[in-house]
Structure 1
Amino acid sequence: MTALVAENLTYTFAGGVPALKGLSLSIARGRRLAILGPNGAGKSTLFLHLNGTLQPDSGRVLVAGEPGSYSRKGLSDWRRRVALVLQDPDDQLFAATVAEDISFGPLNLGLSDDETRNRVNEALEVLKIGDLRDRATHMLSGGQKKRVAIAGAIAMRPDVLLLDEPTAGLDHAASMHLIALLDRMAEAGMTLVFSTHDVDLALRLADDVALFSDGRVMAEGPAETILSNRALLEEAHLRPPLLTELGLKARALGLLAAEDALPRDIQGFEALMARWQERSEIRS
């Protein structure tokens, strides 16, 4: 079943600059989709269409199989289902304190004060930022702002979470914390869609990958299939993830069987090396 579908979307910015050129994309429910492509490929513009912020010049967006409605009620229902976290959290945070910012979405849905308070508490707990509840949003670090923006999104309890460059501006520790959080959310059944330039992040986190170029989808499919296709990635000015290249080399050397999955994280690579060592010891 699909969670979101973009059908032949076209969109042109003021001044006649085309952003989307008949773009079509299906997003399966409960999957993790990485959207890869260079700057200007249309990734951020697509996200603004997928949550109803922008309306296409032509084409349509289907939400849970139904055309998205741009009426006031339609947009409210749409954003209840589909939440967007922008690349720069400063573009998203506007309330005086963290708790007030997270509560904005639930209150805007017409929820009671008690239900809103419960959702704020839940989001603070999930993001492990309870200590920031009363902190002024302008006093937060970049990583803290990112987590608060995500907390505001998940307080809406969406079916789909869109994240534009989720690890941009984060240090390694903050990125690992965020990836672990997104893993947990996906395991709980949330559909995740994220844009990134980072092929290693796509390999680590995504079930599926869509390659964008010049306002269109070049290719889409399982992450391992797309991210191991050197020729296709080169067209998008990308290269395979390091672990994928190591896995392909291991296959070429006979260390990894053709039917074995390529490693997707360091633990998978370590397991591959352990199997190789075991085989070497047996041969010797």
Structure 2
Amino acid sequence: MTPILAAEALHYAFPGGVKALDDLSLSVSKGESLAILGPNGAGKSTLLLHLNGTLRPQAGRVLLGGLPTGHARKDLTDWRRRVGLVLQDADDQLFAATVFEDVSFGPLNLGLSAPEARARVEEALAALSISDLRDRPTHMLSGGQKRRVAIAGAVAMRPEVLLLDEPTAGLDEAGSEQLLSLLRGLIARGMTLVFSTHDVNLAAALADRVALFRTGRVLAEGATEAVLSDRATLAEVGLRPPLLIDLALSARDLGLFGAETALPKTRAEFAARMAGWTRR
């Protein structure tokens, strides 16, 4: 199956010769949730900026639906309609006076009629559970509300792929859980999601597949459980498995779980397994 979005042998260096992407190749399938995981400076954000055309690769190419992308104005307009990007700092994307006006900006610039644009905005606000904020001035929003408005602005464009840079950065635990629930809802509706993070727990909670980055290269790639249970490889970039996976691996090491048994994915499942073992 042709990937919906792919990077092929990308190279990019910042002024001074600092490499951000070093012969990097990666693809994402339609309907997939892919976590780009790694420490700060690994090239995660730089890749996202290539995947929506903000940065032009110094070598290599980006493919959308199997076809090479272009950087002419018309090509970029179509590209960014199909691939939405939400930056880490939502303030960098919010500029209109009210939430409704801000989310309307993208659809109106697609040339849609006012009723068509309004319908898209209403749909996006509902999907992000912020319809009640429609008339709120954007400068009076909390950090979590700003993040959801920025995502709603991207969703209103009805992109095929949504790129998120560190989506839970700066949010407290309650705000992160709320955003996770909303993102799972978008995935359930068929959205393809690519997000960067240094948080192994976020990757475990949201991703189908993980690409582990180090110094502009893909160090490891595969199913979420496989990558996040590889202690040695994670340690190479200063990370450890998520707490739940770490506990499950320790229980497996002690013989409490069979070596071929799938690791539990939730706290409840882990507790049930442990309860079953203690009753033996």
* Superposition TM-score tier, normalisation by shorter sequence: over 0.9
Q: Any idea what the Cα deviations from partners look like across 1:33-90, whole Å, max 9, x if unmatched?
A: 1111111110000000000111100100001111112111211111111111110101
Q: Any idea what the Cα deviations from partners look like across 1:78-109, whole Å, max 9, x if unmatched?
A: 11111111101011111111111101111111
Once the 2 structures are TM-superposed, how far is the Cα of residue 221 of structure 1 from its aligned partner? 0.5
Once the 2 structures are TM-superposed, how far is the Cα of residue 274 of structure 1 from its aligned partner? 3.7
SS at match of 1:212: strand
Q: Any idea what the Cα deviations from partners look like across 1:129-166, whole Å, max 9, x if unmatched?
A: 11111111111110100000010011111111111000
CA distance in 2, matches of 1:162, 1:93: 17
Partner residue, 2:125: 124
Partner residue, 1:176: 177
Partner residue, 1:59: 60
| 2:127/2:186 contact within 8 Å kept | no
TM-score for the superposition, normalised by structure 1: 0.95
Partner residue, 2:100: 99
Partner residue, 2:186: 185
Partner residue, 1:256: 257
Partner residue, 1:21: 22
1:57 maps to a residue whose letter is Q
Residue pairs, 1:213-228, within 5 angstroms: 213-228=214-229
Residue pairs, 1:1-284, within 5 angstroms: 1=1, 2-277=3-278, 280=279, 283=280
SS at match of 1:260: coil
CA distance in 1, matches of 2:272, 2:30: 30
1:94 maps to a residue whose letter is F
SS at match of 2:257: coil
2:240 maps to a residue whose letter is R
Greater CA drift, 250-259 or 122-131: 250-259
CA distance in 2, matches of 1:250, 1:120: 48
Unpaired runs of at least 5, structure 2: none
CA distance in 2, matches of 1:268, 1:86: 34
Once the 2 structures are TM-superposed, how far is the Cα of residue 256 of structure 1 from its aligned partner? 2.0
CA distance in 2, matches of 1:112, 1:275: 60
Unpaired runs of at least 5, structure 1: none
2:43 maps to a residue whose letter is G
Once the 2 structures are TM-superposed, how far is the Cα of residue 14 of structure 1 from its aligned partner? 2.7
CA distance in 2, matches of 1:183, 1:76: 27
CA distance in 1, matches of 2:31, 2:130: 26
1:123 maps to a residue whose letter is A
Once the 2 structures are TM-superposed, how far is the Cα of residue 13 of structure 1 from its aligned partner? 1.7
SS at match of 1:254: coil
1:73 maps to a residue whose letter is K
TM-score for the superposition, normalised by structure 2: 0.96
SS at match of 1:209: strand
| 2:82/2:158 contact within 8 Å kept | yes
Q: Which runs of at least 4 in structure 1 moved beyond 6 Å after TM superposition?
A: none
2:27 maps to a residue whose letter is S
1:10 maps to a residue whose letter is H
CA distance in 2, matches of 1:262, 1:29: 26
SS at match of 1:120: helix
Percent of residue pairs bearing the same amino acid type: 67
CA distance in 1, matches of 2:105, 2:22: 34
Q: Any idea what the Cα deviations from partners look like across 1:190-241, whole Å, max 9, x if unmatched?
A: 1111111110111111111111111111111011111111110011111111
